[in-house]
């Protein structure tokens, strides 16, 4: 199976070994976690890996401010401003309503950048704000499907982050019914100490462990260890 599936390196230390070599090319992957769990770090690390491999990336956010994000990510040695100047990274700060218009228009500015700059990796951080635009589950699902159709059309490998309010609703986060992969990030308090955990809940076409591993955030970014998280 692995010989028949094109994969791209995630850039997350320890992750590719768990996923038979990386994400499926052109797949849509959901990263779910609470505040402070490391979702944005994972997403940016994925984009930086692509840039190193000659794969431009686009980062679409509803919440992050460019100056603060670039400053925070510089702590890991990632010069996002430099990548942006070199047309290797494209930062778009959208309101959820603007993304809603993108669906109506069939791509808009995002599609133009992806086509002209040959973007291969895409991040939407976070998709939770977008989902709140729709009051009922049916409308939310229809909008999500339209978004997926656009991402498929763009031929990008995508990471969508989603905010979970607690560990109980991690597995029922928005969009989970349709994405190719779901990864859960935990930030638990165990025996008086905060511990980070990583779990692959779903990854189509991939044999993956059914285990939750401890991960660390180091000067190099996110690193998944071989230590099993005991909750």
Q: According to the model, what pLDDT value does residue 165 have?
A: 57
**pLDDT (average), residues 23-30:** 96
Query: Any idea where the domains of the chain sit in the sequence?
Result: 2-228
Q: According to the model, what pLDDT value does residue 167 have?
A: 44
Q: 177 and 25 in contact (C-beta within 8 Å)? A: no
Q: According to the model, what pLDDT value does residue 175 have?
A: 62
CATH entry 3.40.50.10860 includes domain 2-228: no
| pLDDT tens digits along 65-81 | 999 999 999 999 999 99
**pLDDT (average), residues 170-187:** 76
Q: According to the model, what pLDDT value does residue 38 have?
A: 96
| pLDDT tens digits along 92-128 | 998 877 877 888 777 888 999 999 999 999 999 988 8
Q: Is the pLDDT of residue 174 over 60?
A: no
Q: Is the pLDDT of residue 43 over 70?
A: yes
Residue with tokens 């430099």: 82
């Amino acid at each position: 199976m692995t010989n028949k599936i094109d994969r791209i390196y995630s850039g997350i230390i320890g992750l590719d070994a768990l996923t038979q070599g990386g994400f499926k090319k052109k797949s849509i992957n959901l990263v779910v976690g609470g505040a402070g769990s490391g979702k944005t770090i994972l997403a940016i690390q994925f984009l930086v890996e692509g840039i190193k491999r000659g794969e431009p990336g686009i980062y679409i956010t509803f919440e992050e401010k460019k100056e603060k994000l670039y400053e925070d990510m510089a702590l890991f040695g990632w010069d996002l401003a430099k990548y942006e100047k070199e047309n290797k990274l494209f930062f778009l700060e959208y309101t959820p309503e603007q993304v809603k218009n993108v669906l109506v228009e069939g791509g808009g500015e995002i599609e133009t950048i992806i086509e002209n700059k040959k973007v291969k990796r895409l991040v939407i951080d976070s998709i939770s704000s977008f989902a709140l635009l729709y009051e009922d589950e049916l409308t939310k699902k229809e909008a999500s499907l339209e978004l997926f159709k656009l991402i498929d059309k763009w031929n990008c490998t995508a990471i969508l982050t989603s905010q979970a309010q607690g560990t109980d609703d991690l597995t029922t986060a928005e969009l989970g019914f349709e994405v190719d992969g779901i990864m859960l990030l935990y930030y638990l308090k165990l025996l008086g100490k905060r511990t980070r955990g990583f779990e692959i809940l779903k990854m189509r076409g991939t044999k993956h462990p059914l285990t939750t591993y401890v991960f660390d955030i180091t000067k190099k970014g996110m690193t998944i260890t071989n230590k099993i998280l005991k909750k």
